[in-house]
């Protein structure tokens, strides 16, 4: 079985400042890693995913994440946030069973 821990439940940040959302995972098998974003009253949208290869993954809306196998982490970063980045962010893992296991989420609130 896999599990995901998102280390920050809430992250307040000022507009144009950088942000990092931390994610650690636990699994006895190899997994794929994902970050999803959820805007209020909406479903989940894929930001980026790591399947294999380069450990630095670039996604949509200027987000990127780095896979660290030794630390079993997959932290999400953005160098400069906008008000529109206010949302809930979920880290998730998937093994060869092709089902997603999600963390509890991190609420990002961007202030002007």
Partner 1 sequence: DAGVTQSPTHLIKTRGQQVTLRCSPKSGHDTVSWYQQALGQGPQFIFQYYEEEERQRGNFPDRFSGHQFPNYSSELNVNALLLGDSALYLCASSSDRNTEAFFGQGTRLTVV
Contact 88, 102 (CB under 8 A): no
- Which residue number, 15 or 49, has a Cβ lying nearer to partner 1? 49
Q: Is 11 in the site for partner 1 (CB under 8 A)?
A: no
- Please tell me whether residue 82 adopts helix, strand or coil conformation: coil
Could you tell me which stretch among 18-26, 62-70, 79-87, 98-106 binds partner 1 (CB under 8 A)? 98-106
Q: Does 4 sit near partner 1 (CB under 8 A)?
A: yes
Rounded CA-CA distance 100/40 in Å is 21
Nearer CB in complex with partner 1: 63/90 = 90
56-64 long-range contacts, Cβ below 8 Å, gap at least 24? 59/35, 61/85, 63/35
> Applying CB under 8 A, which residues contact partner 1?
4, 32, 36, 41-46, 49, 51, 90, 92, 94, 97-105
């Amino acid at each position: 079985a896999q599990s995901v821990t998102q280390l920050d439940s809430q992250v307040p940040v000022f507009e144009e400042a950088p942000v990092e959302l931390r994610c650690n995972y636990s699994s006895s098998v190899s997994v794929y890693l994902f970050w999803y974003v959820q805007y209020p009253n909406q479903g989940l949208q894929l930001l980026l995913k790591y399947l294999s290869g380069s450990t630095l993954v670039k996604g949509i809306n200027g987000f990127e994440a780095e896979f660290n196998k030794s630390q079993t982490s997959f932290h999400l970063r953005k160098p400069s946030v906008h008000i529109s980045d206010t949302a809930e962010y979920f880290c998730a893992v998937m093994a060869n069973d092709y089902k997603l296991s999600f963390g509890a989420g991190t609420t990002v609130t961007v202030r002007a």
